[in-house]
A and B are shown apart, each in its own frame.
Chain A
Amino acid sequence: MLNKKIIGFLSIILLLSSYHALSQDVQKGDLSIGLNYFVNNNKVPYLLVKVKTKVDGKFKPVSDIAVNLSLDKDSAGTLIGKVVTNEKGEATAIIPATLKNQWNSSIKHSFLASFDGNKKYESSKADLTVGKAKILIDTTSDRKITATVLEMKDTSWVPVKAVELKIAVRRLDADLSVNETASFTTDSTGQASADFKRDSIPGDINGNIVLVAKIEDNDQYGNLLIEKTVPWGSKFVAVNNFDRRTLFATRDKTPIWLLFMAYSIVITVWGILISLVISIFKIKKLGEA
């Protein structure tokens, strides 16, 4: 009887372990969710979600992952939205107007991101807490740029000191620092100033360039950015060969040297040929005479 119980017990253990072994064949991957908070030009804040997974020791972006974003607590009525990552593993969501009251009720907020899991990946969560802050930019006629960082305390904006920020000129692919200093730190008045040293930088056709002051990946305030357009660049003059005589121009813009050469050759050769045709008529005349 005891033997039967032992055999039965061992059978169950064996069955469970075999089930466990089978389940290992469909082991799901782990996802890492990153949350970033952005405010550009003191407008509506938005969140950037980045989802990645480790493959062969390297992080790779994961697309088509549905992530729920909520404000402060994960409950009905606080849902910012449900986003799906693109091929870069990224998705964005703005804070919707429906959450305005809750947004205004506090100077600090937490964002929760959660993925429920699917056939390939385990569920995953992430959170981020930021304080409300804003950045201002001002310029003077002697080309000095002043950026001011303010944070919300109770119901008013107060300057923040010792915040690292960048003051730069917006270019096509990246931002170029306005002088040799790569980054600046705010003083007790919340201000950081930089002299503009990029005098010959090309602007648009009116010489306008876009200045930018930005805080990047700040633990307390996230990513803040402000822009200002100033006419400090050199005017862009388009160089256009369209009206010039070139080998690649239209037929009415053939280079003079080519016209000269081609017509010289054609006129010479065809002149000879015409003279030969005339000599046929001369031969004919001689024959008739």
Chain B
Amino acid sequence: MENSNSIANEKIIQDLLPQKFGKSGKIWTGILVAFCLVGLFAYYRQLRYGLIVTSMRDYVSWGIYISNFVFFVAISLVGSLITAVFRLADVHWSTPLTRIAEIIAVAAIIFASLIIIVDMGSPERFYNLFIHGRLQSPIIWDVIVITTYFFISILLLYFPLLPDIQILLRFKEKSGKRLHKFYGFIGSFWKGTPEQFKLSEKAINILCITIIPVAFSIHTVTSWLFATTYRPGWDSTNFGAYFISGAFLVGAGGVVVAMYIFRKSYHLEKYITADHFEKMGRIVVLLALLYLYFNVNEYLVPAFKMKKSEEAHLNGLFTGEFAPLFWFAISVGMLIPIVILLFKKGRRPLPVFIAGIMVVVGAWFKRYLIVTPTLLHPFLPMTNVPDNYRHYFPSWEEWAIALGSLAGAMLVITILSRIFPIIPIQETITEQHENAE
């Protein structure tokens, strides 16, 4: 019995050990690096010539950088959903998904921080936040809460990794010298003793409890950056809940996309099963319905009142300049995924993957629609401004930086999945044993 267990364990370990990039992996990484390099060149141009290289002017001072920031913050919330909420609710089926969620959270929060510095123009302005920042400003709360969330996400990735590091250290030849040295540096002290497990489990539980209010805070505070500003479309008391529901949706969408890709790339069909897609599909459809409900509240109620000062903004979204994008975001980001995922057949891996992509793409454009159209419709009408101040279309530098940051986040996920097991090995083994018993 013990012998058969150890054979099964070895099989799990062999299946879940990080794998070197194949040809497609190298091409994928190469494409991401190329996007990042173009983004870096565009950022160099922005540093050299200033924010004038962007299309942001006096009115639209928050363009796709801030849309991207809100998107990254939103998707980072998935770490708290999959890892913390499910763990505290004693949901075991999500174990193979926890590391994917934690890696996505870390990558997203890194680039949320970076893109906000890009939006400042010159990076040294970030220093001014500390020497001149006011605790009364939601921007300072955002800085504090993002730093805290980043740190918690790193710890939540690190603690469950320790038992896996011990396993990885056994496979020096497979890992290579450098990686082996790195594994040794971050976790050679883990011996798997009961005392160590006890401390680690306690730490993970504390983190799971701590991350939930911090995760809620990070996105609530981000929503307050808008809601505390008196402008059409942002003047809402409901923005915190609206943003959090949207964040959980895009986070869950991001996880199903990553699940499908890792499952295919690393042949993990035995570990990320069709049942995982079925269950995640149900979660995504529930979250999409919830987010749709908040959207109805956010748009239909103001549209019913149609205040004069908000008329231009709302008409711009429903039937005007932003209408194609608005209806695209609503239908692709919510309605179509709901229709797909409501049916059992739609919750098979491929349809769930497609719905996940739709949710993520729709969510990115939804963030753009939250940020930019409002800025183009101030309460006081625009007067004596050049015509290009009245419209906003990002410059190539903005597109390059935004796409570069998205590629950068995916590159971090790719690299972390190359370095660490994408499915927790030790936890999978433990669960297999528990199930066998």
Chain A 152-167, CB-CB to B under 8 Å as 1, else 0, gives 0000000000000000
Chain B 178-208, CB-CB to A under 8 Å as 1, else 0, gives 0000000000111101011001101100110
| Residues of chain B within 8 A of A280, CB atoms compared | 158, 203
B:142-199 near A, CB below 8 Å: 144, 148, 151-152, 155, 158-159, 162, 188-191, 193, 195-196, 199
| Residues of chain A within 8 A of B200, CB atoms compared | 279, 283
Interface size on A, as a range, is 20 to 34
| A250-B137 Cα distance, complex, nearest whole Å | 10
Partner of B193, one of A247, A266, A287: A287
CB pair A273–B196 under 8 Å, yes or no, is no
- A286 at interface by CB-CB < 8 Å: yes
Interface size on B, as a range, is 20 to 34
- A284 at interface by CB-CB < 8 Å: yes
**How near does chain B come to A277, taking the closest CB pair, in angstroms?**
8
CB-based nearest A residue for B192: A287
- B50 at interface by CB-CB < 8 Å: no
* Chain B interface main SS type: helix
- B274 at interface by CB-CB < 8 Å: no
- A7 at interface by CB-CB < 8 Å: no
Partner of B148, one of A259, A270, A284, A288: A270
**How near does chain A come to B255, taking the closest CB pair, in angstroms?**
25
- A272 at interface by CB-CB < 8 Å: yes
On whether A287 and B202 interact (CB within 8 A), knowing A272-B210, A276-B207, the answer reads no
CB pair B134–A251 under 8 Å, yes or no, is yes
**How near does chain B come to A190, taking the closest CB pair, in angstroms?**
53
Tell which of A251, A255, A283, A286 has the most Cβ of chain B within 10 Å.
A283
| Residues of chain A within 8 A of B148, CB atoms compared | 266, 269-270, 273
Chain B 203-229, CB-CB to A under 8 Å as 1, else 0, gives 100110010001000000000000000
CB pair B135–A276 under 8 Å, yes or no, is no
CB pair B210–A250 under 8 Å, yes or no, is no
- B123 at interface by CB-CB < 8 Å: no
CB pair A283–B196 under 8 Å, yes or no, is yes
CB pair A283–B135 under 8 Å, yes or no, is no
CB pair B202–A286 under 8 Å, yes or no, is no
**How near does chain A come to B14, taking the closest CB pair, in angstroms?**
25
On whether A262 and B135 interact (CB within 8 A), knowing A286-B196, A288-B189, the answer reads yes
- A-B contacts, 29 of them at CB < 8 A, read A247-B136, A249-B136, A251-B133, A251-B135, A251-B136, A254-B136, A255-B136, A262-B135, A262-B141, A262-B144, A269-B148, A272-B206, A273-B152, A273-B210, A276-B155, A276-B206, A277-B155, A279-B200, A279-B202, A280-B203, A282-B199, A283-B196, A283-B199, A283-B200, A284-B189, A286-B191, A286-B195, A287-B191, A288-B189
- B125 at interface by CB-CB < 8 Å: no
| Residues of chain A within 8 A of B134, CB atoms compared | 250-251, 254
- A248 at interface by CB-CB < 8 Å: yes
- B132 at interface by CB-CB < 8 Å: yes
On whether A248 and B136 interact (CB within 8 A), knowing A276-B155, A286-B196, A287-B193, the answer reads yes
| A283-B196 Cα distance, complex, nearest whole Å | 5
| Residues of chain B within 8 A of A255, CB atoms compared | 136
| A282-B190 Cα distance, complex, nearest whole Å | 11
**How near does chain A come to B355, taking the closest CB pair, in angstroms?**
35
| A208-B327 Cα distance, complex, nearest whole Å | 64
- A15 at interface by CB-CB < 8 Å: no
A:252-272 near B, CB below 8 Å: 254-255, 258-259, 262, 266, 269-270, 272
| A217-B69 Cα distance, complex, nearest whole Å | 67
CB pair B151–A273 under 8 Å, yes or no, is yes
| Residues of chain B within 8 A of A259, CB atoms compared | 135
CB-based nearest A residue for B200: A283
| A248-B148 Cα distance, complex, nearest whole Å | 25
| A250-B131 Cα distance, complex, nearest whole Å | 12
Instruction: Apart from A251-B134, A272-B206, list 9 A-B contacts with CB within 8 A.
Output: A251-B135, A254-B134, A254-B135, A262-B141, A269-B210, A276-B206, A279-B200, A283-B162, A287-B191
| A254-B148 Cα distance, complex, nearest whole Å | 22
**How near does chain B come to A243, taking the closest CB pair, in angstroms?**
15
| Residues of chain B within 8 A of A276, CB atoms compared | 155, 159, 203, 206-207
CB-based nearest A residue for B136: A247
Tell which of B155, B203, B210 has the most Cβ of chain A within 10 Å.
B203
Q: Which 9 A-B pairs have the closest CB atoms?
A: A287-B189, A284-B189, A251-B134, A254-B135, A287-B191, A247-B136, A279-B203, A283-B196, A276-B203
